[in-house]
Amino acid sequence: MSMKLKQGSDLKELLIDSQKRVNTTLNQAIERVASDEILSRSMRYACVDAGKRIRPALTYGSALSVGGSISNADVPAAAVELIHCYSLTHDDLPSMDDDDLRRGKPSVHKAFGEATAILVGDALQSLAFELLSSPTNPIKPVTQLKMLEILASAAGCRGMAAGQAIDFNAKGKTLTAVQLEQMHELKTGALIKAAVRLGALSHPSVKQAELDALEVYATKIGLAFQVRDDILDEISETTVLGKPQGSDLARGKPTYLSQTGLEAAVKKTDSLATEAISALDNFSSAADPLRELAEYVVRRDH
Amino acid sequence: MSMKLKQGSDLKELLIDSQKRVNTTLNQAIERVASDEILSRSMRYACVDAGKRIRPALTYGSALSVGGSISNADVPAAAVELIHCYSLTHDDLPSMDDDDLRRGKPSVHKAFGEATAILVGDALQSLAFELLSSPTNPIKPVTQLKMLEILASAAGCRGMAAGQAIDFNAKGKTLTAVQLEQMHELKTGALIKAAVRLGALSHPSVKQAELDALEVYATKIGLAFQVRDDILDEISETTVLGKPQGSDLARGKPTYLSQTGLEAAVKKTDSLATEAISALDNFSSAADPLRELAEYVVRRDH
């Protein structure tokens, strides 16, 4: 397993190493638990070698920023990514967002059928909690338990699931800027915050002041992330984005763009990135990957 | 909250009290975490005031059998039931078993639409892990962690999800008796085993020999439970069963009945119940509810 990540490593290295390490952890986990061949293959399809791994990079970056080790962050990073991949798999289903493309390839239900896609999402969610609660996890039990509570809460009715419910009910309606922000905070922000918190907690001697600062950082980039997604949904080509361009707007889903216009949305992401970086003022250069990630989130083109 | 359950209470009391206590725990949990009105209502629809609560009764019965307290078993019992209700909600979906009726009322997707049913199942799964990992849980952290691992593993690729995958792939095929038993053990038995294990673990001073005996008990009734389901699917009226009669056979799903015939299947459940009860030979009368539950599982008419 790659051990290249170190304090002060640059962003590109962080993203590449995050991808490698998460793929290794996920491959090993699926190998260990999934004996059914079709289930195992479809789960790998949904979560291995796919995506930018921004959430795991945040978990690793957060662990580094407080002086933690990379290997302690492997399980939390993989667990967060599993929750993310389960939500993508279910969001793409015909009765949900009905997206045929994901990360540049057919979405799970296009590749394996709808029933398997539902099952894969369910199994990825279970696996996240199985990994985090495993006795082989190097983190001490009380901290594991705290991580489990954070992740379950971010995935469920106080996070992603609640955001998704608001999203359903908002189709074709106009939300206020405050409502839209709240929806994004639940749908995307909660898991991004969990990614950052789990990374920091993987270091046994993390301080409360560090956790508080990282919470502010995570809140800012969580929102920036979703606004950037809305911008990309408006301006990108399908080939770059990996899903049909303009698909959210076409479905009548409320986005920042439909409310504020492109220019204001870009300004919003810039100021959010600046605020995220400011939250790390008291951190050493060990937080540089997180600082660069904040810039990356608002500059990325897919 | 009812505190009627005590050692040696009879089965009817156990089932009624299990229902009450689980409803209370689930209502409180949903009230606490789900602020979205539609999500909260549909989650309640899927899991409150519904079902026989056999799994929670097993959790409570198991806690009592080793001298544990009822209140310590509340959270584990509710968590197990949440996993069960999530799986029912997803299994009923059109692309899965396409069942319109569940527990005598329209299934979740019939009542709230398919997208909400997917989301409800997802949120119920998250809630199970959120409850079990909550710091307000009266059980000590290391035991909470152990319970989380057992439950996640029973829900995921080493349990329910794997059984479901085998079930998909088996439609229209003939499985051997061994393959069929393995499928049932994963699909139904794993969660029933988890229900029993979590109950026993909720008592801080449970002994390994007790856990081992309960494991045997749980394996036997897990299988008996599924065979009885197959029998009921064949012989019951829709009004009694709460779902269309003969629906599994009609879908070409392999069942015990399609392999062994009715008489052999009934004999099988009887001998499994006897073996389950024998496993509890060294237990006091505190295990009477579990003994009665074994009989109930193979006698129930819905």
Measured between beta carbons, the chain B residues lying within 8 angstroms of A134 are: 149
B176 to chain A, closest Cα gap in Å:
17
Cα separation, B295 vs B276, in Å, equals: 9
Residue A105's SS3 state is strand
Instruction: Among B95, B126, B153, select the one facing A118 at the smallest CB separation.
Output: B95
In the prediction, which pLDDT does B135 show? 85
Q: Is the pLDDT of residue B239 over 80?
A: no
Measured between beta carbons, the chain B residues lying within 8 angstroms of A153 are: 33, 126, 130
Measured between beta carbons, the chain A residues lying within 8 angstroms of B33 are: 153, 156-158
Residues 6 or more apart whose CB falls under 8 angstroms from that of B240 comprise B301, B302
**Interface mutation vs chain B, best among A80, A124, A145, A157, most B CBs within 10 Å:** A157
In the prediction, which pLDDT does A11 show? 84
A245 to chain B, closest Cα gap in Å:
23
pLDDT one-digit tens code per residue, B2-26:
334 444 457 888 889 999 999 999 9
H or E stretch covering B105: strand B105-106
Q: Do B122 and A90 touch (CB under 8 A)?
A: yes
Q: What percent of chain B has pLDDT over 70?
A: 91
| Among the listed residues A63, A77, A87, A97, the one whose alpha carbon sits nearest the alpha carbon of residue A23 | A77
Exposed, middle or buried by CB within 10 Å (0-12, 13-18, 19+), for A160?
A: buried
H or E stretch covering A106: strand A105-106
Q: Is the pLDDT of residue B286 over 70?
A: yes
Mean pLDDT of B69-97: 96
pLDDT one-digit tens code per residue, B167-198:
888 877 777 878 888 888 899 999 999 999 99
Token pair, residue A218, equals 């995570």
Chain B contact for A119, CB < 8 A?
yes
The ipTM estimated for the assembled molecules is 0.91
**Interface mutation vs chain B, best among A43, A119, A146, most B CBs within 10 Å:** A119
**Interface mutation vs chain A, best among B118, B136, B198, most A CBs within 10 Å:** B118
In the prediction, which pLDDT does B248 show? 62
Buried b (16+ CB within 10 A) or exposed e, A20-57: ebbbebbeebbeebbebebbbbbbbbbbbebbebbbbb
Residue B101's SS3 state is strand
Domains of chain B: 11-292 (1.10.600.10)
DSSP string, A261-290: -HHHHHHHHHHHHHHHHHTTTTS-GGGHHH
**Nearest chain A alpha carbon to B136:** A149
- Average per-residue pLDDT for chain B: 89
> Could you tell me the mean pLDDT of each successive run of 10 residues in chain A, 302 residues long?
47 89 96 89 92 92 96 96 97 93 91 96 98 87 95 95 88 79 89 98 96 97 90 72 59 70 91 97 96 92 78
**Nearest chain B alpha carbon to A150:** B130
Q: Do A118 and B122 touch (CB under 8 A)?
A: no
Mean pLDDT of B212-237: 89
Phi-psi group of A102: left, alpha or beta (phi > 0 → left; psi -120 to 50 → alpha; rest → beta): beta
